[in-house]
A and B are shown apart, each in its own frame.
Chain A
């Protein structure tokens, strides 16, 4: 029952999230970093994480929800920093890729450390992202 309620709550927050992600697909239509449901979404995610944590085998879901919360927070900061509304509502992998596309290796490295992305996986992400923007010099330097 605990899980059910947690999931329902989770569903509730995935709605504003879905709403937030659709403008994100059309960059420029939304002011960077100004996600209306942002604060609310973060609160919901914290609560979901708590609820999952209380249930019997919701430990990994609790961790996932907490991690999601951190991701959203970081994405919000990145959007304000870059002045581009391209991060919120995307996955961690997409966020790293975007950072590379924008030529910001420092943020990408920060993401790697914060979310414990394995070296191998991170190398894959960076290489793919560099190849996508045809940054052959960057590729060679990597």
Chain B
């Protein structure tokens, strides 16, 4: 069931990341001898399957897999415990409690705690305060990007946007920069970095600095498999995630929920289905980015195709080869059935959740028409028991498109939210306000109308069901994600030149860096070495013993050199297989999350005739409007909501 995507099919062979992640996980496990319990942070357990499967873990002595809590592990008769967790204070406290509980009942249990992607001093301090620091072995598990599909990498940092915008906490930006550095060590450095937005600028500065610190060890720009790096900040476009995604994959995510690349839903008979959604499913690969309107007809075409082929095979003069071909086509039949079931489940949910009304309001809002009736509509939705997140999405959408919620509605709507969903959400509203997503209209109009015009965000009279689509705006039925337009223009030969006025409408600086060989900027004390990947890959002792300052990769320079060696064969022969040099490989990084529909828009762009690029997407998290906004709800409240559902 849990089929993995084929990582080698994309523009970059992401299997390398998986192999490296797996090797390091096994190394971590092997530090503890004998049979052991592996305790997982719930935030990690979901995506760990992209790195290693359970049977493999068993081979390395893992007897039991449990989620992190404070219960004693003594009764299992196990001698050693390995933790795999994010470096948060909560986790450190929970682990300390569990260790003390276990130690009370059993003596001599070994504990190893591995932090993903790296330990933090705060956690070590917590261990010291709780008096367990001496009992544990602390290590890092430097897994940054997790490959979710052949062209998608995610850091799985769900609250990145909120952390940066509301709390001013730039940890996630540092995580992006060090993950990019790690990626460059494997696949080579880009010869062009382009980006826009406050967060993007911070990431760029960090990345350039980290490269300089590596000096001659750094990969030479432009010699690897990545040609261009495009950094886009969610702050540029908070509107798109609030809209309902209307592609197949996007709508499945909105209505059924895709979590860690798998979906679960009830088939009409009431039986529950769960399966993996990625490019290894050929039918899904072809349909995922289409507008949902086109999915029904396409599925129909496929079943009909099979029937005519079947009739074709019945004649007496069919060759074995033809029959063989037909049977191989039959293999896709279970996939087709599965997708028919899933499309049905989506349609059921569409009716149940009055999606049409919601999309209608969204369309009016981005068009800037009938704001009054939209506000009334939203109030009505609250009356009829719409869920909180949907209502918040629409409220933020009003605010962002109109430069604030119209005065005469604002107080009423806010009060209504508190009355319907509980006064505790005064906190939620306050943090949305702090992020600038929700505010009262105060004189100044939003510049959204100007942005909409400058970037041609609305496309009139577009038929979504046309295959292949005519404009990236098909992803939101006539509204094009701003990020897609930004990427489109950034990938033109002339880049963003000529667009400066339009870009100035958006927050943060835009920049373009053409990194030269970083070795030239290395400290003068060092003897200049030829900065070829081969030299770095050979890993002379002098290089390895240099302290890795601020690379943020846990293992420091040693680990970096290791990665360089891993990727070296690949970087030296960049024009192999799929990555022929007629096509540039572009890594588009979304800081603060990306939706499936936005990914679809980018893929569509790359697949157009005349396009000369392959796109790989990296993000802090795959999001939709609900997951995007749920990070603004206080942790305690979120838990309460989950329980009451």
Contacts and interface: CB of A to CB of B under 8 A. Distances in A.
Interface stretch (A9-17, A76-84, A98-106): A9-17
A68 B418 CA distance: 9
A52 B590 CA distance: 36
A28 B424 CA distance: 24
A92 B426 contact: no
Contact of A14 (B416, B418, B636): B636
A22 B643 CA distance: 9
A124 B386 CA distance: 13
A71 interface: yes
Contacts of B424: 14, 17, 68
Interface in A65-103: 65, 67-68, 71, 90-94
Contacts, number: 66
A91 B419 contact: yes
Determine the interface band of chain A, counting residues with CB < 8 A from chain B. 20 to 34
A136 interface: no
Given A18-B636, A121-B383, A61 B419 contact: no
B636 A25 contact: no
A25 B644 contact: yes
A34 interface: no
Contact of A60 (B414, B422, B640): B414
A11 B427 contact: yes
Interface in B417-435: 418-424, 426-427, 430
Given A91-B419, A91-B421, A93-B420, A124 B426 contact: no
Contacts of B286: none
A92 B419 contact: yes
Given A25-B643, A60-B411, A128-B385, A68 B426 contact: yes
Given A7-B430, A11-B427, A14-B634, A64 B422 contact: no
A14 B422 contact: no
Contact of B422 (A22, A90, A115): A90
B636 A15 contact: yes
Contact of B427 (A7, A22, A115): A7
B637 interface: yes
Contact of B426 (A10, A15, A21, A25): A10
Contacts of A120: 383
A67 B423 contact: yes
Interface of A: 3, 7, 10-11, 14-15, 17-18, 21-22, 25, 60-61, 64-65, 67-68, 71, 90-94, 115, 117, 120-121, 124-125, 128
16 contacts: A3-B430, A14-B634, A18-B639, A18-B640, A61-B426, A64-B418, A64-B423, A65-B426, A68-B426, A71-B423, A91-B420, A92-B418, A93-B419, A121-B383, A124-B384, A128-B385
Given A18-B636, A68-B424, A92-B423, 4 more contacts: A7-B427, A22-B643, A25-B644, A94-B422
Interface of B: 383-385, 411, 414-416, 418-424, 426-427, 430, 634, 636-637, 639-640, 643-644
